[in-house]
Every structure is written in C-alpha cells, then in structure tokens.
Amino acid sequence: MDTIEDLFRRFERLNEIGAALSHERDIDRLLENILVAAKTITHADGGTLYRVTEDEASLRFEIVRNDSLKIAMGGTSGNPIPFPPLPLRTESGAENNSMVAAYAAIHQKTVSIADAYEAEGFDFSGTRKFDERTGYRSQSFLTVPMKNHENAVIGVLQLINSIDPDTKKVVAFSAADQRLAESLASQAAIALTNRQLISQLEALFESFIQLINVAIDEKSPYTGGHCERVPVLTMMLAEAVNETRSGPLADFGMTDKDRYELKIAGLLHDCGKVTTPVHVVDKATKLQTLYDRIHLVDTRFEVLKRDAQIAMLKAKLALRDSHDDQRKSPWDGRAEAVLEEDLTRHLRQIESDREFLRHANIGSELMTPEDQERVKRIGTGYRWIDVNGKSANFLSDDELENLNIRAGTLTQSERETINYHIVATIKMLEQLPWPKHLRNVPEYAGGHHERMDGKGYPKGLTREQMSVQARVMGIADIFEALTARDRPYKRGKTLSESLDILGKFRLGGHIDPDLFDVFVQQKVYLKYAEKFLDPEQIDEVDESKIPGYEQPVFAVQQK
C-alpha cells in the first residue's frame, strides 16, 4: 500500500516533471522524458509511448523502454522501432477494441490490468509471443490516453509491470499510480501539443523566409544560391568557434536557442534584395540594362562603316566627274586607289575600336588609364547621324560612364543601389515584432557588410560594436561570394585564391582576424568546399602562405 510519504515524494516528482516538460524544445527528448517520468512515478519496469498518426488512423510507436531487458528504442536512443503502427480500426471499419492501447485511445479511457495473461476482452497474443521470445513476463498494464487542451487524444502512454519498491515483485498498478499517470499524461499532452504548435509555427516562419529567398531566386538565378549557402557556412564557422576552448574566442558559446537565432539571421541576411532592380543584380556587362546595349554600339559601328563606304564612292564619282569636265585623257586610276586604301585603313580602325569596346564591355579585367582615354576618344571622336537626323557623339554620356568603369560592371550609383539592399534588410527586419529569443536577428543579419575598422556600411560599425555572430556572417558572405560559380560576371575562385584574398582582407581590417584564424585552422573552408564547390576549385592550400595567418594553436572541444 502506498504510504503518505511515498505519495508526497511522487507528487513532488510529478511537479518537477511538469516544469521540466514545459521547457523541453526537442520533441524526441520530450517524448522520452514523458515515458521515463511515467515509469519513475509508477515504479514501472517498462513502457511504450504511442502517438496518433497524422491521418488519425493508427497509433505509431514513438518510445519503447524496458529496464529488465535493457531495451531502449526510439527517441534519442538511435535505435529504430521495428513494430508497425497499431490500427484504430479494423479492415471492415469497426473499432479496434481488441488492442488495449487502441481501446484507450478510441474510448478515451484509462485501462488498468492486473495480469495480461488472465485479462478478458483484449488480445495479448503479441505480448505472449514477445515474452516467449525474450523470457520476460508481461503482467500488469496501465494504459492511459493522452488528451490535450481540446480534449483530443494525441497519444497513449502504456506502462508495464509495476515493481513494488520493498519486495521488488511485480504488482498491479495502484489507484494512486493511475491518478499520477493520468495527471502526468494530461500535462505531457499539453506540453507536447504546445511544442508541436511551436514547431509548426517555426516551420511556417522558415517556409515564409524560404518564400522570400525563392522570390529573390526568381528575380535573379545568379544570387539565389547565395541565400542558401551563406547560412550553411555561417553555422559551420559558428560551430567551429563554439568548439574553440582557448584563445580570444574561448568564451564564446551557443545554446540551441542561439543556434536557431543565428540560423534565422543567416536565412534573412539578404532579404532586402527583393527591392533591388533585377537589371542591376544581374548586370553581367557594363552596358547591360534590361538588355546588353553593346548591340546598339555595334549597329552604330555598322553605320560608320556604311557612311565611310558611301563617302568613298561619292569621292570616286567626284573624281570622274572632274575628269570628264576637264576632258583629260588617259584616265589615271591612282587617285581612286588612294581613296580605297584610305577606306580600308579607316574600316580597319573602326573594326579595331569596335573589338576594343566589346572587350571593355565584359568588365573582366581592370581598365588602365590609357584604356579609359581610348574609350573617351572613340565616344567623342566619331560622329554619327542619329535617328533624328542630327550629328551626335558616337557614345552617350551614360555609355561613356559605363564603359569607363575601372573594375567590374557596376557604376558607382549602381553599387550604391546594390549596397542599399542591406539598408532595406535592416529596415524590413526591424519592423518585425521579434520574440525575445530572436531579438538579435536584425543585428546579426544587418552587420555582414560592416568592417572591423569601421569603414563598412551602412552604419560604419567597428569590431567592438559588433557581435561575434555578425562578424561570423561577414566572413561567410565574402567567402561564398568569392567561390560562387553561378555569377554572370566572374568565375568561381579556387580555395587558395579565395583564402589569399580573405587573408588580405584580414590584414586590411576588413574581417575579424580571430574568426579568420579559426576559419583556417579548423578547415571550415574545406568542409564548405566539399559540400558546395566544384572539384576543380578545391586545390591544394598551403596555409603558411595565407596572408596574415600565423597558425595559432586553439584547443578544440572533443565531442
């Protein structure tokens, strides 16, 4: 018989369990904790936790435990449960009242059985076969439906063989056991429902974030992969820092909530790109807007060639008319030959200038001052008759500005337009009513274009003004961009090339030096490369030649 002291201890334990269940975030651990707690307060040797399937047609095994047989399946054990779900209805559609767990779920009733071998009305043939195979004796059963706040059954808790604490013999579950188990089942059902609702809301929220990234991807296939890869690399580096146990980053640590917060920030770090004009994001050549205007320039060159040929033919006619008027003979064709030679030379120069502009339009190489001067000479030196019949400069002011871009394909105003995406990101994220565990998302996501020396944008923050997470994302953003192979204006760089550039950024105050050292020492770059880069990009890296890297020795947590 239960003593008052034992009941008091078990009620205290029930309160502790209820509080613990409300704090558990992981559903597998939550389910496991529910069953272990139920076994503990009822002194049960074994137990099973079932959950109602999504179609509400059966009970799925979630956790199976048996102390005597040392069985641990499902949950965090890593051992799969080989048993099929228990159907709640037979093939004919009738209620499956022969199985005690199904009966408890269908009728929302607790079932207590002193001895399964003597019980009537239920089919325990499967239990007998299990006992024959294992040598176990399944005797007392306590089967409790788990009902949530809407009074809907979401699972079943089944306990087997209550062990008397004094005699160590199997006894029937007491009335106190049943009340405690029912109370725990009720608390557990609410905790599980809450956790499921939270998980569903988180899944919905992440899906909405993915929707934004898909919108960016649809606008620009060249940057869609960036929104996918940067969060992965961010978490790789953050985990590497989390495992560091010495050096300047030894105190950095992350909880599961911290990881989720950083993950969300990574997914949203470029959400402001939905505001960036697609023709700027995708600008593959200097003259590209909605289309590449180099074709208009080509047309003008053809007009110049045509005009030169017409001018030469007119000059020939003028020579002949002059000869006829003066009635000179014989006819001397040397003057016409000179005209043809001049035309050939002129056409050759036009073609040379045309090829020069076509090459300059690509933007793959730095333009020298001499190249920029040649663009200006071409733009103002040639004249052509425009569609209005007026003589005009060969290149417009806008075309001159674009073709004279020193590096890349973007003008200064276009760079500002692209850079504005981070301002838009911050504005968008700061508008949202973030819960406490996600309140740092705007800071993490909005800081990946800042520099350690305060020369970044948009806020010009220094290293001391930024969180470690924001600095981590800055490195991830740069490294992904360097190695990305889906950009229209450049090839994906190799590992050695990218680390050389990143090392120079470290020396120049662009990125965090301590994070960069962890990035290299723990070979985060290689883990990322093996997942996302083409094999030809993964070349041999001599870490001793990386600018600014001195191979510091950091202790790493062993897992």
Task: State yes or no: pLDDT of 17 exceeds 90.
Answer: no
Cβ atoms of residues 265 and 444 within 8 Å: yes
Split at pLDDT 50, 70, 90, the class of 536 is: very high
Using a CB cutoff of 8 Å and minimum separation of 24, what contacts does 50-54 make? 50/86, 50/101, 50/105, 50/155, 50/156, 50/157, 50/158, 51/154, 51/155, 52/105, 52/153, 52/154, 52/155, 53/85
Distances (CA, A) of 544 to 73, 437, 547, 548, 553: 49, 40, 8, 9, 14
Q: What average pLDDT does range 213-217 have in this prediction?
A: 78
For residues 160 and 155, give the distance between their C-alpha atoms in angstroms, rounded to a whole number.
17
Instruction: Spell out the CATH class of 4-197.
Output: alpha beta
CB 170 within 8 A of CB 140: yes
pLDDT at 326: 58
**Residue 224 pLDDT class (50, 70, 90 cuts):** low
Q: Does residue 540 have a pLDDT over 60?
A: yes
Query: What is the largest distance, in Å, between two alpha-carbon atoms of the chain?
Result: 143
How far is the C-alpha of 72 from the C-alpha of 61, rounded, in Å? 12
Share of the chain above pLDDT 70, in %: 91
4-197 and 220-276+413-545: identical CATH topology: no
Q: Which pLDDT band holds residue 222 (cuts at 50, 70, 90)?
A: low
- pLDDT of 229 reads 92
Contact present, 195 and 23 (Cβ < 8 Å): no
Highest mean pLDDT among 248-252, 319-323, 392-396, 472-476: 472-476
Every domain of the chain and the residues it spans: 4-197, 220-276+413-545, 294-409
- Check residue 490 and give its pLDDT: 67
Average confidence (pLDDT) over 234-241: 97
pLDDT, tens digit, for every residue of 355-404?
A: 999 999 988 778 999 999 999 999 999 988 877 888 889 999 999 999 99
**Predicted local confidence at residue 559, as pLDDT:** 40
One-letter identity of residue 14: L
Classified by CATH at the fold level, domain 220-276+413-545 comes out as Hypothetical protein af1432 (1.10.3210)
Q: Taking a C-beta distance cutoff of 8 angstroms, is the pair 415, 393 a contact?
A: no
Give the Å distances, CA to CA, from 232 to 181, 239, 476, 487. 43, 11, 9, 19
pLDDT digits (tens, 9 = 90+) for 115-124: 999 998 899 9
The secondary structure of residue 125, as a DSSP letter, is: H
Q: How far apart are CA 123 and CA 541, in angstroms?
A: 66
Q: Which of 164, 159, 155, 49 is closest to 112 using CA atoms? A: 159
| pLDDT grade for 278, boundaries at 50, 70 and 90 | confident
pTM: 0.69
Question: What is the pLDDT, as a whole number, of residue 322?
Answer: 73
